[in-house]
Amino acid sequence: MASENREEVVCVTGANGFIGSWLVHTLLSKQNPHYKIHATIFPNSDPSHLFTLHPEAQSRITIFPVNILDSTAVSNAINGCSGVFHVASPCTLEDPTDPQKELLEPAVQGTLNVLEASKRAGVKRVVLTSSISAMVPNPNWPENKAIDEGSWTDVEYCKLRGKWYPVSKTEAEKVAWEFCEKHSGVDVVAVHPGTCLGPLLQNQMNASSAVLQRLMMGEKDTQECYWLGAVHVKDVARAHVLVYETPTAAGRYLCVNGIYQFSSFAKIVSELYHDYPIHSFPNETQPGLTPFKEAAKRLIDLGLVFTPIQDAIREAAESLMAKGFLQRTTSQK
């Protein structure tokens, strides 16, 4: 794990994605330790924005084009690193044509490839980017109990409804814990973000930002199988670094600023952007919100201070408008 007054080399998989980019930005911004980064990107994807994130980015980032299913390429990227942030995992709002090939195999086998390479390289800690989707939906969770790190998504419930992303994140995390039980020497800590909102550092749209974009454009899909645990992406990046640098950190860390049913989230957005055609959803039958301090208690206890969700929504919406993914209304011009 990180120690002061020295240089440290870490690997960030999926470094040019939404969370990955903010994580790289956060690591580069720290003074102690002074991080150098092995940044893995999917072959032929664009990492150029990473070199604009810090004045020393050019000298501190090394790019590794890596298909996460290529164990040799994964090993090459992780060799020489003392820590790994495994962020890369396929995510889409569209229904996959082949769930096994498009989601499950990259998520599960990719995680195993990272853990096996980390063990061979002598990595001290792997921070796994899991998801709230590995915790909910869980229809058997006690109705009056706040969602917390003890909850696991009901994969059969999701499979029956064709919701494959939660299945992929749940199965990927479970194989990570199974790996830890079988192999000593690799310490895994998992961070579970919800829907990440905030400025886009990359030029491409990502799935979380698309949830807000579609809602503000009048989308009527209730996302009923997704519990929307909204959170600012910069808080997610800080959470990753925090659990990496805290020796006592262990297990699962839910990283959300409250857990909402979609109608509750849509209402907040509509109050901020009443000029947009945001659909008014009927209230769901399940509870609308898990209180923020209960949902994120473990990270709050480690010292993470969360950004108000209204600020995250505003910054995300402004970024979408600035990059041309969302049209401004007349009153905002």
From the list 247, 285, 86, 264, the residue with the least C-alpha distance to 175 is 86
Instruction: Please give the radius of gyration of the chain, using alpha carbons only, rounded to the nearest integer.
Output: 19
Rounded Cα distance, 196 and 31, in Å: 26
304-332: string of b/e by CB count within 10 Å (b at 16+)? bebbebeebbbbbbebbbeeebbeeeeee
Residues 6+ apart with CB under 8 A from 49: 16, 21, 201, 202, 203
- Catalytic annotation, residues: 169
Is 194 in contact with 259 (CB distance < 8 Å)?
Answer: yes
Q: 133: which strand partners?
A: none
Rounded Cα distance, 23 and 283, in Å: 35
Work out the angle at residue 91's Cα, subtended by the Cα atoms of residues 42 and 220, and round it to the nearest 5 degrees.
145
Is 224 in contact with 284 (CB distance < 8 Å)?
Answer: yes
Q: Work out whether strand 34-41 and strand 259-260 pair parallel, antiparallel, or are unpaired.
A: unpaired
**How many secondary structure helices (H) and strands (E) does the chain include?**
13, 11
Rounded Cα distance, 220 and 42, in Å: 32
